[in-house]
Structure 1
Amino acid sequence: MPIGCFGGRTLTRIVCRLASSVAVAWAYSRAHSAGVSRLRSLASVGPGDWPTMSAHTYPDAPALRTPDGVALTMRGLEDRASRLASALRAAGIAPGERIAILGTDSVGYAVTLFASLKLGTIGAPLNYRLAAAELAALTALADPAVLVLESRYAHLFDDLRAAAPNLRLVLTLDRPLSGVASVEEFTDAHDPPGQASLPAATSDDDVLLWMLTSGTTGTPRVVAQTQRMIKANTAKGVLEQGFQPRECLYAGTPLFHVSGMGWLYYAISRGAALMLLPQFDATAVLGCLRSGVVTRCLLVPSMVVALLDHPDVGPVPALRSIAYGGSAMPPELVRRLHDTFGCDLYNTFGAGTEGGGQTILRPADHRAAFAGRPHLLGSIGRPMFGVDLRLCDADGNEVGVGTVGEIRTRSDTVMSGYVGNPELTATKVVDGWIRSGDMARRDDEGYLYLAGRVDDMILRGGENIFPAEIENVLVDHPTVAEAAVVGLPDQRWGQIVVAAVVAGPGAVPDPDELRAHCRSRLAGYKTPARVVVVATLPKNASGKTVRAQLAATLAVTA
C-alpha cells in the first residue's frame, strides 16, 4: 500500500515503531557481537539463580542445616550470597577470575560457592586432604584472584600465596586472622546488611568451575565445567532420584568433591536443605539420621561400612533413600544396607569431574535383586536420563552384548576440557564422546557390569583379565573386608595375577583358602597366583586404591 494512503498520525506511529525496532535490533546486535548480550543474560537461568528462585517460592524453608538446627533459610542464603557477590564485584573481582576455596564443609563455604556462581567468577575448590606441596601446585594452576580458606589451614597461607602471583584478596571462612578479614566482615564492609538479590549474569557457555585434581597418577589436572554442564548434571540428579521441596539431603562426600557439590546444587535448586558436617563422622551422621531431619543421603562404601558397624545403628523410618557409589560395593554389603535401613537404594556411577553421572541402578532394580535376581547387585545399572552410552574397543568400534568395552558417553554433562592441556583433552573427548577409561560389559537387558579400568587390565598369556571381577569374588569371602588385584611381571606369562586383601573385623584370611575360593568361581587363569594379607591398601586423597603403589610394594615382597 502506498505511504500516501496512511493518515499522518498512523504514518508517524509506524515510523516510530520501525525506528524503535531498528534501534533495539542495533543495540542487541552490538551487545551480541561483544558477547555480553544483556537480553540473553536476563533470559538465561544459571545455578547462581537457584537461591533466588527457591527464596521466592520457599522463603522460610531451611536451605543449610547443621546438627544444631537451621543455619540459613532460602531467603537467608539468597541474601548472603548476593551480598558477597556484590562485595567481591565492588572490590574489583571480575567474571572469569578464579576464587580458590580451602576448607571443610561449612555454611560459609556454600555461600561462597553461590556468590561465585552469581558473579560469574570461576570457583576452584581445593582438596584439604592433599599435602602442602600438592595444594601449592594446584593453587599455581588455578592462579586465583581470591583465596578463601578456613582458619585451621592458616599455616598453609604463605605457601599458597607464593604459588598465586595474581592473588589480590584473601578471606577466611570462619574467624578472622591477623590482617585477614572473614567472609562475613568483608561482606558487611562492602555491602551492609539488608535484603539483597543479585541475578546471575551468566550464560550456558560460561565456565563456572575449575575442578582441580591430582588424580591417581599424581599429575595435576584442571577440569573446566560450564554452566550448561552444572545445570544438566543437577537436572539429571533431581529427576533420577526424585528429590522434593523441603526435604533434607546429606552427602558424605565433601563440597570440594564433584558429588558433594552436586548434592548442594540438588538441594538448593529443588527447594530442599543440605545438612552440613565438617567431615564424615559415623556417630554424627547416625545422630542426624535418627533425628528424622535427614531424608536422603549419599555414601561411599567405606562410610557404609562405618555406619553398619556402628553399635547404635538401626532402622531410620524418616530415611527415604541412600545413594551409594564412588567405588565398587560388594553385593553382600548392599544387602546389609537394605536389611538395616529398608529404604530405597540407588547405585550411581559416572565419570565424575569430567563426564558427570553416566549410569544408575534404581530402587526397582534393587528390589528385583532382593526378590530373586541377585546378579543385579553386581551391576552399575543402565544409562541415566540424557546420556547416550556405548561400549567400544580400542579402535572406537562399538562391541556387542557380553563383550567388554570402554564406556564412552555423550551428554550435556561432558566437560569443556582440561585447562591449558588441549592434547590431553583431545585424547579424553573424541567427537563429543568422553572416554571414561572404565571397562564394562552389557547384558541383553541393557544392564552394565564393571570390569575395571583400561589401565588396570592384566594381560596373562594373551588373556585379558580385569581386576574388578576377581576383587568382587574376594570380598564375597567372609574373612575379607577389602581387596585389590594387580598384574606383576612374569617371564613365562608376561603378567600374573596378585591380590592384596584386608581382613574383616576379627577375621584371619587364609591365602590358600582364598585362592581356592577364587578357583571355584573363576577360570584358572584369573585365579590369583599369590594372595597377600595387608593392613591397609594405599589410597589417594579421594579414597581410591593407587594400584601402581600397591604393585610396587607387592613386587618388593615377592
Structure 2
Amino acid sequence: MKQNILATRLEQAASTYSDRVALTGEGVKLTYSEWLDRSRQIAKHLTEFGLIEHEPVMVKCSNHPLDFVAFLGVWLAGGVVAPVHRTTPDAVVSAMQAKADCQLCVDLLDEVEPLKALRVQGELASDASRRQNLEDGALIIFTSGSTGLPKAAVLSHAAFSGKLDQNQRLLSIQSDDVTMLVLNNTFSFGIWVSLLTLLAGGRLLTQAKFSPADFVESLAREGVSFLGVVPTMVRATFSALSEGELANAKANLQAVARLRSVVIGGEPLGKDLSQSLRAFIHPAALFDIYGLTETSTCDFVLQPRDFDTHEGTIGQPFPGIEYRVVSAADDEEGPGELQLRSPYLMSGYLGDEELSKAAFEDGWFRTGDLAVRHSDGYVSIVGRLKDVIVRGGNKVTPVEVERALTRCPGVAAALVTGTSDPVMGQRIQALLVPKAGGEIDALLVRAELTKILEKFKHPDACFVGTELPTGRTGKVDRGQLAKWLATQSVAPLPFWKA
C-alpha cells in the first residue's frame, strides 16, 4: 500500500514526541504514543472492514481529541478524510454523501456503531475523473456552493503537506507550544492549525463550543501560545464581555506571558477590530491571512510589521504563490478577479467535473474575489464577483461600503447586501452592530459617510442588530442577511434618508 505523506509525517512526529501530551479537551488526554496506538487500531479496523485505498471515509467531528485519532487512522489505512460536523442536519449530510460517495463513516463518539458502511462493501465507482481526483487525496472539504448544494473540494497529501511547510516557515511552531482549537476541525483553517501543532510536538487543546468568557479564561489558564480565529469570534468576544472583564483578561494574558502569535482569516478584519485585537493580545503577533479551501488556505498574509502602513489589504503572497488580477475591461489599475496558481491547489470538486473545469482558467484558480493590485505589491479585496450590487446602473461592492460603515461613530460591524427594486434595479441594505454599550446615531453615521464614500454607494436603508448572521463555517453570511430582509418585517434605522 502506498504510504500517504501526512500519515508518514504524523506517525514520525508521534514516535519522536511519544511521551509528550498531544491532545487534550472534553475530558480526554492523549500522549503522542497513545494517539498513535489508537489511530493504528482504527486503521486496522478500517482495513478489516474492506476500506479501498484512496476511497473517502466520512469522519464525524466536533473539535474532540478523538476526531484526530480518526483522521490519522483513516490516513494510515490509505483512505481520504471527509470531515463532517456531528450537528450537520441529515439532509445536508445526505447531500454531502451524494457528492463524496464515502465508503465508510467513522464516529468515535458513537459507542454503539463507531464504524459503519455507507455503501455496499466492494462497490466502487468507476468514474475516471473521480479516481483521478482521489489519487493521493488527503481531505475532502465541503464548501458552500452558489446553488446551496455543497461542493466537495479534494486536497491532496502533497498539496496540504506543502502548505503546512509554508505555514511553519512563517509561524515556527515548537514542541513547547500550546494551541487552542476553537476553529471547526471540519474546515481547512482549523485542520492546518491542528496538524501544524501536532507535527511540531506541541499540545492541541480542543474546544467543542465557542464561548467568549471560556475562551479568554482558557487562553491564560492553559498557557496558550498559538491560536487561530475568525473575526466573528473576536467581535463576539468584545461584544459579550464588559470593558472591565476584557481588561482583566488582558492583564491575565500579560501576566502568564505565553501567547506568542495569533492567526486570523476567513473574512475581512476591519481597521477598528484589528486595532482592538492587537491591543488585547499585545505583545503577541497578529497575522491576517487570506486563502480559500480550494487553495489549501493561506495564500496571502498581512504581517505584523505591515498593519500600520497597509491596513485594509490582504498583504503579499507567500513564496511560491503566483497571482494575477483579471479585469474584463483590461483595466490594470481597476478591480478584477483575483486568480491564483501554486503547487497547493485542489485536485478538483468530487462529483462535479464541469464545476471543476469552470474553477480554473488556463491553470489559474478563479477565486471569485474582486481585487485591486497596488503598485507596492500589496493587494486589496474589494468584493465578490457575484456580490456586486448594481444600483441605478452604478456598480457597488458591498465590502467597500462595509469598510466605510465600520469607520463611522458607534458602528462595531456591518454587513451589506443588495435587494431587488423595480426602479433602481437594486437597493443597498445594511445591517449594523453597535459597539458594546452604545447606540447608533443615524445622523452621525450619515455625516461621516458623506466624507468617505460617494453618495451613490450609501445604503438606502440600515437596520440594527446584536450580531451579524453567520454560516456553518463561522464566517459572516451575506446570503443569510438577504433572506432575513426578505422574510422579516423589521423597521430600518430611524432618520435614515438615502
Instruction: Give the TM-score range, shorter chain.
Output: 0.7 to 0.9
SS in 2 for 1:357: coil
**Residue in 1 aligned with 2:380?**
449
1:358 aligns with 2:299: yes
Matched, 1:288 2:218: yes
1:167 and 1:322 mapped to 2: Cα distance?
Answer: 44
Contact map agreement 1:62 1:246 (CA 8 A) in 2 = no
CA distance in 1, matches of 2:466, 2:49: 51
How far, CA to CA, are the matches of 2:23 and 2:345 in structure 1? 29
Query: Which residue of structure 1 lines up, in the alignment, with residue 77 of structure 2?
Result: 119
Aligned-residue sequence identity (percent) comes to: 27
- In structure 2, relative to structure 1, the CA distance for the partners of 1:64 and 1:552 (3 Å cut) is closer
Q: 1:415 aligns with which of 346, 361, 372?
A: 346
Separation of aligned partners in 2, 1:533 and 1:283:
24
Cα gap change, 1:115 to 1:378, in 2 (>3 Å): same
Name the residue aligned to 2:5: 46
Deviation at residue 47 of structure 1 after TM alignment:
0.4
Offset, 1:146? 2.0
Residue 287 of structure 2: which of 346, 352, 365 is its match?
346
Q: Which amino acid counterpart does residue 360 of structure 1 have in structure 2?
A: V
Which residue does 1:326 correspond to in 2?
A: 266
Change (3 A) 1:222 1:344: same
Question: Offset at 1:519?
Answer: 1.7
Segments of 4+ in structure 1 off by > 6 A?
A: none
For 1:83 and 1:151, the matched residues in 2 are separated by 15
Structure 2, unaligned stretches of length 5 or more? 123-132, 493-498
SS of 1:328's equivalent in the other structure is: coil
Superposed CA offset, 1:29-65 (max 9, x none): xxxxxxx7xxxx47xx600012322134333232213
CA distance in 2, matches of 1:549, 1:318: 38
Q: Give the corresponding residue for 1:471.
A: 402
Q: Which residue of 1 is the match for residue 358 of structure 2?
A: 427
1:257 aligns with 2:187: yes
Q: TM-score, normalised by structure 1?
A: 0.77
What SS does the aligned partner of 1:100 have? strand
The alpha-carbon deviation at position 78 of structure 1 amounts to: 2.3
Match for 1:83: what amino acid?
Answer: Q
> Structure 1 residues 422, 337: CA separation in 2 closer, same or farther (over 3 Å shift)?
same
Question: 2: distance between equivalents of 1:205 and 1:167?
Answer: 20
Q: AA paired with 2:107?
A: L
- Cα 1:109–1:306 shift into 2, 3 Å: same
Larger Rg: 1
Q: Is the 8 A contact 1:346 1:362 kept in 2?
A: yes
User: What is the distance in 1 between the residues matched to 2:109 and 2:41?
Assistant: 22
Alignment of 1:51-450 (within 5 A): 51-66=10-25, 71-149=29-107, 151=109, 164-166=118-120, 205-215=135-145, 217-291=147-221, 293-308=223-238, 309-310=240-241, 311=245, 312-315=248-251, 316=253, 317-342=257-282, 343-366=284-307, 369=308, 373=309, 376-394=310-328, 400=332, 402-450=333-381
Q: Which moved more, 1:223-232 or 1:74-83?
A: 74-83
Q: Conserved in 2, the CA contact under 8 Å of 1:380 and 1:448?
A: yes
- CA–CA distance in 2 between the matches of 1:137 and 1:523? 43
Do the aligned partners of residues 473 and 152 (structure 1) sit closer, same or farther apart at CA in structure 2, a change above 3 Å counting?
farther
- Residues 1:502 and 2:461 are matched in the alignment: no
Deviations 1:338-357 (A, max 9, x none): 11220101001111245522
8 Å Cα contact 2:261/2:287 also seen in 1: yes
Q: Provide the TM-score with structure 2 as the length reference.
A: 0.86
Over the aligned positions, Cα root-mean-square deviation in angstroms equals 2.9
Q: Alpha carbons of 1:152 and 1:482: their partners in 2 closer, same or farther (altered >3 Å)? A: farther
Q: Give the total of aligned pairs.
A: 467
In the alignment, is the contact (CA less than 8 A) between 1:147 and 1:167 conserved in 2?
A: no
1:383, distance to aligned residue in structure 2 (A): 0.6
For 1:551, the aligned partner's letter is: A
Q: Distance in 1 between matches of 2:384 and 2:111?
A: 35
CA distance in 1, matches of 2:436, 2:121: 49
Go from structure 1 to structure 2 and tell me whether the alpha carbon gap of 1:112 and 1:381 turns closer, same or farther (over 3 Å shift).
same
1:513 is matched with which residue: 444, 459, 483? 444
Q: Structure 2: which amino acid aligns with 1:89?
A: T
Inter-partner Cα distance in structure 1 for 2:46 and 2:15: 24
Q: Is the 8 A contact 1:292 1:319 kept in 2?
A: no
Q: Deviations over 1:489-547 (max 9, x none)?
A: 34554333222223333333233432332221111221222222245544321233443
CA distance in structure 2 between the partners assigned to 1:153 and 1:485 by the alignment: 45
In 1, Cα distance between the equivalents of 2:387 and 2:444?
25
Structure 1 residue 266 displacement after superposition: 0.7
Letter in 1 for 2:11: T
- Which secondary structure does the structure 2 equivalent of 1:440 belong to? strand
Residue 408 and residue 293 in structure 1: after superposition, are their counterparts in 2 closer, same or farther (change >3 A)?
same
